[in-house]
């Protein structure tokens, strides 16, 4: 607009052109012709926006800054919701748009309306629960398991019941992010019922949301070394309970929820509104070896994928590991590799006698040398040889659920 007559803003095209010109004039010196032009254009933009923008809605940055002032928050306090100091700086300066995960976290923890945060970013507030067939949710089974009150007419009240569960999760956006999609990963049984799966995932998230650890979660916490530290707890007979306590100290809820029929689930890695990871386990196979592999596999998803925004949710049927396609998704193979290495390092396995001569003595020798429960060694032998009758006395059948107060 340089060297041209300044005209009123009448169309969206005029508006966009003026914004471009304003951007070019931001460094104008006070008292210069360019500075005067900038001043006039800013007034024109304000007038146009007052007529064409919804009243009462501040800009996303203004809304965040207002909430920061109210809560005496610094930019550093926004890191858990936006992702890093650099991202916080870019958002507050207007150089980075608000993403949906950021909006969810800012809404959940700072109370800033999501529509304010997303309206300038081209974000969409589509209802992730659109087209739900509410009657397909297994509300009768959920009532039998004690997840919801048991009463007459449950199916007729399915929508109300499930929406209440979704509110406990943290709202539709959080629930929608946990929905299983074909592109999430492939270690899922083809017979899995999607409505049973949704119900289970949301029950896990609801419990995690209501009983979240007091500690905050810091991205980057879950590394291979962290997994090895968790695996060392297996030596104790109370190892599963101790693992839950350790994860809670790092801000990670470990939630045990019985699997529903037609879910075929062992575990899942999910996420709450603030980005906090949640580990859900079913314990459908109540064995010590199964518990430790499933736990470390889901934790590996957190460290290798979810912390890097390479997946919102992972749900796993570990019986498919040996089935064609069970390791085709590289993320599943990567999670397997971390879990296996943390439990029994490859070098130790290759050098041990148990690999070729699986006897009670060789099992105990390797377990003692690594400081892990012998069930883990026995489980590796059974998996490698595809013989689940071997070493049954070591795998700790019936020894996990009781630690979490679940009837066997």
Q: Are residues 400 and 259 in the same domain?
A: yes
> For 173-231, how does the pLDDT look when each residue is reduced to its tens digit (9 = 90+)?
777 776 544 444 456 777 788 899 999 999 999 999 999 999 999 999 999 999 999 99
Boundary (domain end) residue, out of 118, 147, 164: 118
**CA angle, residues 165, 169, 172, in degrees to nearest 5:** 85
Smallest Cα–Cα separation from 372: which of 394, 391, 401? Answer: 394
Residue 59 domain flag = no
Count of domains in the chain? Answer: 3
Cα–Cα distance measured from residue 268 to residue 283, given in angstroms and rounded to the nearest whole number? 12
> For 133-169, how does the pLDDT look when each residue is reduced to its tens digit (9 = 90+)?
889 999 999 999 999 988 888 888 999 999 999 999 9
**Is the CB of residue 127 less than 8 Å from the CB of residue 172?**
yes
Residue 245 domain flag = yes
Q: Are residues 313 and 171 in the same domain?
A: yes
Residue 58 domain flag = no
Q: Are residues 92 and 183 in the same domain?
A: no
Please report, for the domain that includes residue 101, its CATH number.
Answer: 1.10.260.40
Element (H, E) at 1: none
> For 348-378, how does the pLDDT look when each residue is reduced to its tens digit (9 = 90+)?
999 999 999 999 999 999 999 999 999 999 9
CB within 8 Å of 318: residues ≥ 6 apart: 187, 266, 267, 290, 293, 294, 297
Q: Are residues 238 and 309 in the same domain?
A: yes
Average pLDDT, the chain: 84
Containing structural domain, residue 71:
64-118
Smallest Cα–Cα separation from 335: which of 366, 351, 354, 311? Answer: 311
Alpha helices in 184-329 (DSSP H): 194-210, 224-232, 239-249, 288-304
Confidence bin at 52 (pLDDT 50/70/90): low
Residue 41 domain flag = yes
Q: Are residues 217 and 158 in the same domain?
A: yes
Q: Are residues 256 and 396 in the same domain?
A: yes
Q: Are residues 228 and 287 in the same domain?
A: yes
Q: Are residues 198 and 109 in the same domain?
A: no
Q: Is the dihedral angle over the CA atoms 200, 202, 207, 213 positive or is it negative? A: positive
């Amino acid at each position: 607009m340089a060297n041209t007559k300044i005209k009123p803003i009448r169309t969206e095209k005029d508006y966009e052109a003026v914004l471009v010109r304003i951007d070019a004039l931001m460094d104008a010196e006070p008292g210069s012709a360019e500075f005067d032009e900038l001043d006039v254009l800013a007034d024109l933009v304000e007038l146009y926006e007052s007529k064409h923008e919804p009243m009462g809605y501040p800009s996303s940055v203004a809304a965040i800054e207002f909430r920061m002032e109210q809560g005496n928050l610094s930019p550093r306090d926004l890191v858990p919701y936006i992702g890093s100091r650099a991202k916080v700086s870019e958002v507050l300066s207007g150089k980075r748009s608000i993403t949906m995960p950021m909006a969810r976290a800012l809404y959940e923890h700072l109370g800033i309306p999501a529509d304010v945060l997303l309206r300038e970013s081209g974000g969409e507030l589509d209802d992730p629960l659109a087209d739900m067939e509410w009657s397909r949710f297994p509300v009768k089974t959920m009532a039998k398991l004690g997840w919801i009150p048991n009463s007459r007419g449950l199916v007729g009240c399915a929508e109300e019941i499930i929406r209440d569960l979704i509110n406990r999760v943290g709202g539709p956006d959080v629930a929608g992010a946990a929905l299983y999609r074909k592109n999430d990963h492939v270690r899922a049984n083809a017979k899995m019922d999607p409505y049973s799966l949704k119900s289970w995932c949301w029950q896990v998230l609801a419990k995690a949301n209501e009983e979240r650890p007091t500690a905050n979660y810091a991205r980057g916490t879950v590394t291979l070394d962290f997994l090895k530290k968790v695996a060392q707890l297996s030596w104790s007979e109370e190892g599963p309970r101790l693992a839950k306590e350790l994860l809670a100290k790092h801000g990670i809820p470990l939630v045990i929820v019985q699997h529903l029929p037609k879910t075929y689930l062992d575990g899942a890695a999910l996420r709450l509104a603030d980005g906090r990871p949640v580990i859900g386990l079913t314990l459908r196979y109540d064995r010590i070896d199964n518990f430790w592999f499933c736990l470390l596999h889901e934790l590996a998803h957190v460290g290798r994928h979810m912390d890097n925004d390479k997946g919102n949710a992972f749900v796993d049927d570990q019986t498919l590991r040996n089935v064609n396609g069970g390791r085709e998704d590289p993320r599943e193979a990567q999670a397997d590799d971390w879990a296996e290495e943390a439990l029994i390092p490859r070098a130790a396995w290759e050098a041990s006698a148990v690999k070729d001569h699986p006897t009670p003595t060789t099992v105990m020798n390797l377990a003692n040398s690594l400081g892990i429960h012998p069930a883990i060694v026995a489980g590796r032998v059974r998996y490698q040889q595809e013989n689940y009758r071997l070493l049954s006395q070591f795998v700790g059948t019936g020894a996990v659920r009781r630690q979490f107060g679940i009837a066997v």
